[in-house]
Structure 1
């Protein structure tokens, strides 16, 4: 018979699930678990300054690595702060575990200090959501939670009163295990044959690839080359689908390229490869579609699919590639030429000299110092549009809050990236609005010695919101931001800060940042020009 505390069971099981670190902040409803973590060497506790940062970092870590991200909070206010990051994980379909404290077991239901109905609060943001009633349940419910997070690709929430972590448990045998078997989903050959007929008949096919291409990029590229089709990448797959591949026309939509938009509107067949792209206005009016996804619920969800193929992308595309005859490349050749012209135009925008720094010029300079295996953590706003267009990624990784689109995600993403890949260069690209939402956790990067480059595009306004207000025919209102000296802030945190108002200053700052062994903030003052 084995006896241990509930908290020790949690730690041991997390190690079996290969969890290496937890983001959180100590407090009175998780202190017993913190005591177990205090004596643990194999799981690193990352003390963040705001629980939202912890949840966003856990989500980013999961997106980057495929492993579950773990965050921890107290009951009440700490639990509330987790919500934004968990919604990010839910919307971007990535596994995260949230261990949430609760008032003592004997006090639950008495409206005690900081008590909230946590199960109700987390119901909409989880694929698994349970409160542990007894210490004996804790190990098995933890296994269930993590397995559900992996299987359903979303957040699992386990609410635990702190006294259960210190309660001794006697167990003769385990009821569950820390094993997860990933299903191999293979497409039906009938569906593949129906798709092949459409593909063979198409004269102007276009492929739109999404984050489902992760792990299947070689197959996507071989398929595009055999089909002689232009390739468009959804934003979450930027970097995954190399920007320098000659078929790649870039992104689609508000942040996309002109060639991608034109090719999509001209297409007589679209292939939705691992994406459920939601912006119907950027897709053809009535072209037939082949959609490939492992989730049958998204087939035809945003565009009327003619043939739906439920299965893993790589094997499905391999079958289609092998069963396609050679295609005419006239349509592809047209858009390869348009792609060349577009890139020349973008480069001219980067190279032009202006009195004040412009966003595309900053991205051009970042391009020069960015390493081949760097990780880019991108924030949300006009900065997203500039980066999608002007920053070229080939073998680099990129992480972003894609479907929730929450500002303030870049710094947590950079923290997660450096913990996941300590030997890789990490660059956060963020606007002044997004950075100031959670900039207190820059000191977390300093505390844990996580060298990174944070480039803040500072124009003292919410540029994208202003642009959208103008597009709606409204007068811009409440978009101006009070300026912050972000470089001085970085210095005050123990990192390094540089101010750049000219191209020469920016080049010098980036060169120093690249060689620095500290977290760095570059406060880049940019002209407030429209991005849409």
Structure 2
């Protein structure tokens, strides 16, 4: 029986195991969305903004290890997908985007809403093509899917409005199977890496998301080498809980123990990470890097031995070759510093911190309005959240507090725009995550700037009846930008947000809204939010003057901050 182009798309998604397609309907996509309407296993999720749709599709791809799917109709609808697709591309997760186009006869005439999609998506997509005839399918669709999955990126297929309802001239079965393999370096390369490690002094591991599926092997290597393990933010979910070797993160959101472990090692072993911040790599170290993506090797820091391979089989090969070390001083020193730092951070997050002597003195300078400390909010969420919760976080200070006060224990998962660094990702990513499993707890750490940017998709949460918990760090600021300005010696400018009562907005939309304005009400507000079976917006007024001290604060940053504060006080006093 002949199928239409739209029917072929729906059947392909069913075969791939895709459960949801995110987007905004429109004329060019009508034949495709109508086919999804009649699908038995694929559901259409109508979003209020295509950017949210792309973020949600990318979240599902990262959590399920299947391809995510989103759609945007002709012109502006396709353009709106772009930011979420860039996030998927930089996160290395497969997403198929279907973009609408004007009718074929009008392509190239500057027709109403016409956009050159192949040019628009050139930078973000590993594969892109415009369907110009039904004869191109299903072959073109198969190539798009295989490329997205094989290269872990974004594939964009553009479908003109008069193509979707046309019948295929000849039907044939879809051929979408991909055979995976464990990529292991050859023996000479492993021998070279082992010789370097065996001949070196103290070793520190820098572990990224690419090692997450090889946790047991990586922990065995840390034990063998007596090596502290510095984690990237994206490695928290795989390596943080029950790990006697980890010392947290380095970088601006990191801690002094992780920076010390990097600085005092003779050799760094990078496992499945493309940690981008060059300034946080110490100079003069021997470096071994393992990454399945060859172009990642050596692009952040000079590498002595590069192994372009999967982490698991590579580490197992190294375990056969590196000798066990009895000396544990490097590991023990790093762990001692890390535990001491954690104790200090825990004191900042105590509910009664500001009532103590130190807290009262501190508040006189940085929290005169006695707003909730963001550390206390993050720690309170960590205490009540389930051990299998999925966390999403907006770029900025919300991520800082999550990284320091939420432990990825149990089977917790973590998503964020940690490579693109986009605003407004946490809420739409929570939509994709919750639709995968309505019974699994999903918690979004939202900045007030991020939530307000895509606020309309709160209505998607209501429409789909998704029980997500949206925790708003409402400091009425673009907090990270404020901090960056002040560290550079600039007075705060352009960062103040005239926010509504987000809890009241939520209630107006039919969502439970809870607002917390005082520290003494925090525990009760968090308890109520997490006991509520449906969606909740927990709007917490947090201290905008809270400073997240980086792992290695510099004198220049300190002076810059002091100068900025003087300028701000002069401005406020006229």
TM over 0.5: yes
**Structure 2 CA distance, aligned partners of 1:310 and 1:463?**
38
**Structure 2 CA distance, aligned partners of 1:503 and 1:222?**
43
Give, in angstroms, the shift of residue 201 of structure 1. 2.3
Q: Secondary structure of the equivalent of 2:454?
A: helix
After superposition, the C-alpha distances for 1:419-439 in whole angstroms (9 at most, x for unaligned) are 123221110001111111112
Q: 2:481 aligns with which of 460, 465, 473?
A: 465
After superposition, the C-alpha distances for 1:290-342 in whole angstroms (9 at most, x for unaligned) are 10011111111111110111211011111212322221211111112112211
- Name 2:333's counterpart in structure 1: 334
Q: 1:386 aligns with which of 395, 401, 424?
A: 401
- Kindly indicate whether the alpha-carbon contact (under 8 Å) linking 1:463 and 1:530 is maintained by their aligned counterparts in 2: no
Q: Secondary structure of the equivalent of 2:543?
A: coil
Q: Secondary structure of the equivalent of 1:187?
A: coil
- Name 1:34's counterpart in structure 2: 33
After superposition, the C-alpha distances for 1:108-134 in whole angstroms (9 at most, x for unaligned) are 122111111111111011000100110
- Name 2:267's counterpart in structure 1: 269
Instruction: Point out where structure 1 has 5 or more consecutive residues left out of the alignment.
Output: none
- Kindly indicate whether the alpha-carbon contact (under 8 Å) linking 2:373 and 2:519 is maintained by their aligned counterparts in 1: no
- Name 2:547's counterpart in structure 1: 530
Give, in angstroms, the shift of residue 172 of structure 1. 5.2
Give, in angstroms, the shift of residue 243 of structure 1. 4.3
Instruction: Point out where structure 2 has 5 or more consecutive residues left out of the alignment.
Output: 355-369, 550-574
Change in 2 beyond 3 A, CA 1:263/1:197: same
Q: 2:212 aligns with which of 194, 211, 214?
A: 214
370-379 or 465-474: which moved more?
A: 465-474
Q: Secondary structure of the equivalent of 2:132?
A: coil
- Name 1:121's counterpart in structure 2: 120
Give, in angstroms, the shift of residue 245 of structure 1. 1.5
Give, in angstroms, the shift of residue 25 of structure 1. 0.8
Change in 2 beyond 3 A, CA 1:473/1:503: closer
Give, in angstroms, the shift of residue 373 of structure 1. 0.6
Q: Secondary structure of the equivalent of 1:428?
A: strand
Say what the alpha-carbon RMSD is for the aligned residues.
1.3
- Name 1:258's counterpart in structure 2: 256
**Structure 1 CA distance, aligned partners of 2:219 and 2:61?**
25
Count how many residue pairs are aligned between Structure 1 and Structure 2.
530
- Name 1:479's counterpart in structure 2: 495
- Kindly indicate whether the alpha-carbon contact (under 8 Å) linking 2:37 and 2:43 is maintained by their aligned counterparts in 1: no
Change in 2 beyond 3 A, CA 1:219/1:94: same
Give, in angstroms, the shift of residue 505 of structure 1. 2.3
- Name 2:353's counterpart in structure 1: 353
Q: Secondary structure of the equivalent of 2:237?
A: coil
- Name 2:414's counterpart in structure 1: 398
Give, in angstroms, the shift of residue 504 of structure 1. 3.6
**Structure 2 CA distance, aligned partners of 1:457 and 1:38?**
38
After superposition, the C-alpha distances for 1:445-476 in whole angstroms (9 at most, x for unaligned) are 11111101110011111111011111122222
Give, in angstroms, the shift of residue 186 of structure 1. 1.4
**Structure 2 CA distance, aligned partners of 1:466 and 1:144?**
45
After superposition, the C-alpha distances for 1:198-227 in whole angstroms (9 at most, x for unaligned) are 222232110001110121112111111111
- Name 1:430's counterpart in structure 2: 446
- Kindly indicate whether the alpha-carbon contact (under 8 Å) linking 1:267 and 1:284 is maintained by their aligned counterparts in 2: no
2:238 matched to 1:223? no
**Structure 2 CA distance, aligned partners of 1:167 and 1:516?**
48
- Name 1:454's counterpart in structure 2: 470
2:174 matched to 1:157? no
2:218 matched to 1:201? no
- Kindly indicate whether the alpha-carbon contact (under 8 Å) linking 1:6 and 1:136 is maintained by their aligned counterparts in 2: no
TM-score (norm 1): 0.97
Give, in angstroms, the shift of residue 143 of structure 1. 1.1
Give, in angstroms, the shift of residue 178 of structure 1. 1.5
- Name 2:91's counterpart in structure 1: 92
313-322 or 401-410: which moved more?
A: 313-322
- Name 1:25's counterpart in structure 2: 24
Give, in angstroms, the shift of residue 367 of structure 1. 1.1
Runs of 4+ off more than 6 Å: none
Give, in angstroms, the shift of residue 155 of structure 1. 0.5
